[in-house]
Amino acid sequence: MQTALLLIDVQQSFTQRPYWNDTEVPAFLARSNALIAGCSARAIPVVRVFHVDEEPVGGPFSLSSGLIRPLDGLAPYDAAFTIQKHRHSALAGTDLSIRLRERGIRRLIVAGIRTEQCCETTTRHASDEGFEVDYVTEATLTWDMTTPSGNTLTAAAIRERTATVLAGRFATLCTVDEALQRAT
């Protein structure tokens, strides 16, 4: 089955967000870079997805910011193509689904930033559109969040919650190695 890697929002813009911290970035980059290298070695196309939002003008997700570029430390790679999205799902309001289907892609490997937001939303959307999805939790990144009741939900708890709601319903949970094995 033809597979593609969707590398979602791994962009410098996030370093300007108030919740940004580097604690989990090295591990995330190591796993993401291993996934990119593995896909490149197997001729699996890597699709670069950037989130672009022109409001506010000059904000970290606007094109004028200069931050719509790969996150520092991400290994360089030749993208099969690049999508600029304006919503949480990389499939909403873009031609991504058409471009994937034109290439015969039926399985997606999902990785990127933020675990519970754009990566999870894209995974659910892709599953609903009939793609098989391998969700690589170890190659996603998020940060602690404050719940509506004022408690802290740790990044680890967010990853576990995301894995729980996706597993067996919308995606197959995979390590980097497992996703690469399934793609060959």
pLDDT, tens digit (0-9, with 9 covering 90-100), for 158-176: 999 999 999 999 999 999 9
Backbone angles phi, psi at 161, to 5 degrees: -60, -45
From CA 75, how far away is CA 40, in angstroms rounded?
11
> In sequence order, what are the residues at sequence separation of 6 or more whose Cβ sits closer than 8 angstroms to the Cβ of residue 123?
110, 133, 135, 166, 170, 171
DSSP tag of 118: I
Q: Report the pLDDT value the prediction gives residue 115, as an integer from 0 to 100.
A: 97
From CA 14, how far away is CA 60, in angstroms rounded?
7
Average of pLDDT values for 25-35?
98
What are 5's strand-pairing partners? 46, 109
Collapsing DSSP to helix, strand or coil, 70 comes out as: strand
Backbone angles phi, psi at 183, to 5 degrees: -85, -10
pLDDT, tens digit (0-9, with 9 covering 90-100), for 52-109: 998 878 899 999 999 999 999 999 999 999 999 999 999 999 999 999 999 999 999 9
Average of pLDDT values for 31-51?
98
From CA 121, how far away is CA 126, in angstroms rounded?
9
42: tokens are: 């197997």
For residue 29, the one-letter residue type is L
| Statement: residue 1 has pLDDT above 80 | no
> In sequence order, what are the residues at sequence separation of 6 or more whose Cβ sits closer than 8 angstroms to the Cβ of residue 49?
6, 7, 8, 9, 82, 83, 85, 90, 96, 112, 118, 122
Confidence of residue 138 (pLDDT cuts 50, 70, 90): very high
pTM beyond 0.75: yes
Topology classification of domain 3-182: Rossmann fold (3.40.50)
Backbone angle region of 67, left / alpha / beta, with phi > 0 → left and psi within -120 to 50 → alpha: alpha
From CA 18, how far away is CA 1, in angstroms rounded?
41
Pairing of strands 132-141, 107-113: parallel
